[in-house]
Amino acid sequence: MPRLDDDATGTRIKEQRRLARLTQRELADRLPYSYSLLNQVECGAKPANLDFVAAVARALHVDVTVLTGQPYVTELQQDRLAELVRPIREALDLYDLGIDDSIPDRPHAQLVAGADHLCAQVRATHLRNAARVLPATIAELTTAAWRTQSTELWQALASTYRTAHDIAVKLGYYDLSSVALDRMDWAAQRASDPCLAAIRQYMRAMGHFREGGNAIGLRLIAAGHGVVGATEQTREALAVTGQLHLGASVIAARAGDQTAVDAHIAEAEHCAEQVGDASEIHWLSFGPTNVDLHRMSAAVEMRHYGDALEQAGQVFLPGSLATSRRAHFLIDRARSEMETGRTEAALGSIVEARQAAPEQTRYHPGARETIKGLVHASRRAPHSLGGMAAWIGL
């Protein structure tokens, strides 16, 4: 049976706890989890799920990545993705350098189409393809926007910064994702685009959600509502408003506030009724299906795994749904199946997620923790589970 290596999350938690000069009892007293669970995680008897890791990170005053080991450098190097990150870092630092005379003019429509194509690549989970093209696209749009001061190009540049954020998050480079969001704000201000500014607040909130920062996450969501609420209530603005409510629903779920979850889901549902399938608006995938998916995700975050599975059985995934969202659904379903003892079904869901979106699934912390949990739950790992464990580096 595969076993966790010496760099497993539980080992890192133990190391950081000792550096903080805390006993297990003292750390457990700071957590909304039991001493027994902390003990089992540290000794490798039980895997740590994402909300547990976030709670421990906040209690120890460290980044979540210190405990999860992200980015997963060995796997990134094996997949030749790590070498694509440095050019993205460099491209993000071009923002205030003005015009690069070595870059020729191209029609604006081609540049905007290129930015949209990158968004589509990320939603199709073609991370390698998007990461390879992204630096040159940022450089070209940066120069073009400075040359023309065109609102359309500033918007397209903000979109490419958002793509840089998405890629960085999916690969576990959270420091880089923060830089990308700062650049997105810089471009959105020049475009005078309140919807882009609100989306940026939503993404900031999701970053704090990953770190267990529920209070600041909700404040950022409120700030996003303030920005988009001050503009004309177009279909675009309604879609962004709905997405903000969806973000708030999972943050409230992590905080255990069922009343707030229900309220935000209801508001998002109201927006979705008005706009219908608005997945084309800023590549948010907003619409009735995304509301259903977030209702399920909220149940997962509240550890209502039976409810989550019941909702999963009722969700209809249209063929047009972004592959990234489909894979996220499958990973949520796998976690719920594992937590309710349906280990064979959980493995099937993870295999399905890998088939749909291999790059996203390989680096998704939820998928990795679910695979670890399945390994712990299996006395003798079947061949398919052993292969999955080896795939993520166990």
Are 252 and 157 in a shared domain? no
Are 80 and 165 in a shared domain? yes
Q: Which domain holds residue 114?
A: 71-192
Mean pLDDT of all residues in 334-350:
94
State the pLDDT confidence band at 383, using cuts at 50, 70 and 90: low
Are 151 and 239 in a shared domain? no
Q: Write down the pTM of the prediction.
A: 0.86
Q: Does a structural domain hold residue 303?
A: no
Q: Does a structural domain hold residue 161?
A: yes
State the pLDDT confidence band at 382, using cuts at 50, 70 and 90: low
Q: Does a structural domain hold residue 75?
A: yes
Write down the pLDDT at residue 394. 63
Q: Does a structural domain hold residue 160?
A: yes
**pLDDT greater than 70 at residue 36:** yes
Are 177 and 252 in a shared domain? no
Mean pLDDT of the chain: 91
Give the model confidence (pLDDT) of 38-61 as tens digits.
Answer: 998 888 777 787 888 988 998 999
Write down the pLDDT at residue 379. 56
Q: Does a structural domain hold residue 203?
A: yes
Task: Identify the weakest region by mean pLDDT among 206-215, 263-272, 287-296.
Answer: 206-215
Please say which residue of 222, 254, 285 terminates a domain. Answer: 285
Are 79 and 95 in a shared domain? yes
Please say which residue of 171, 192, 213 terminates a domain. Answer: 192
Q: Does a structural domain hold residue 163?
A: yes
Are 163 and 213 in a shared domain? no
Are 130 and 144 in a shared domain? yes
Give the model confidence (pLDDT) of 201-249 as tens digits.
Answer: 999 999 999 888 889 999 999 999 999 999 999 999 999 999 999 999 9
Task: Identify the weakest region by mean pLDDT among 4-13, 137-146, 299-308.
Answer: 4-13
Are 142 and 216 in a shared domain? no
CATH of the domain at 21: 1.10.260.40
**pLDDT greater than 80 at residue 4:** no
Q: Does a structural domain hold residue 230?
A: yes
Give the model confidence (pLDDT) of 87-121 as tens digits.
Answer: 999 999 999 999 999 999 999 999 999 999 999 99
HEC-encoded secondary structure of the chain: CCCCCCCCHHHHHHHHHHHCCCCHHHHHHCCCCCHHHHHHHHCCCCCCCHHHHHHHHHHHCCCHHHHHCCCCHHHHHHCCCHHHHHHHHHHHCCCCCCCCCCCCCCCHHHHHHHHHHHHHHHHCCCHHHHHHHHHHHHHHHHHHHHHHCCHHHHHHHHHHHHHHHHHHHHHCCHHHHHHHHHHHHHHHHHHCCHHHHHHHHHHHHHHHHHCCCHHHHHHHHHHHHHHHHCCCCCHHHHHHHHHHHHHHHHHHHHCCCHHHHHHHHHHHHHHHHHHCCECCCCCCCECHHHHHHHHHHHHHHCCCHHHHHHHHHHCCCCCCCCHHHHHHHHHHHHHHHHHCCCHHHHHHHHHHHHHHCHHHHHHCHHHHHHHHHHHHHCCCCCHHHHHHHHHHCC
Are 168 and 87 in a shared domain? yes
Q: Report how many domains make up the chain.
A: 3
Mean pLDDT of all residues in 339-346:
93
Write down the pLDDT at residue 329. 97
Q: Does a structural domain hold residue 173?
A: yes
Identify which has the larger pLDDT, 90 or 66.
90
Are 96 and 184 in a shared domain? yes
Please say which residue of 23, 51, 69 terminates a domain. Answer: 69
Are 78 and 60 in a shared domain? no
**pLDDT greater than 60 at residue 337:** yes
Task: Identify the weakest region by mean pLDDT among 62-66, 94-98, 270-274, 302-306.
Answer: 62-66
Task: Identify the weakest region by mean pLDDT among 27-36, 69-78, 249-258.
Answer: 69-78
The rounded percent of the chain whose pLDDT value lies above 90 is 72
Are 82 and 179 in a shared domain? yes
**pLDDT greater than 50 at residue 342:** yes
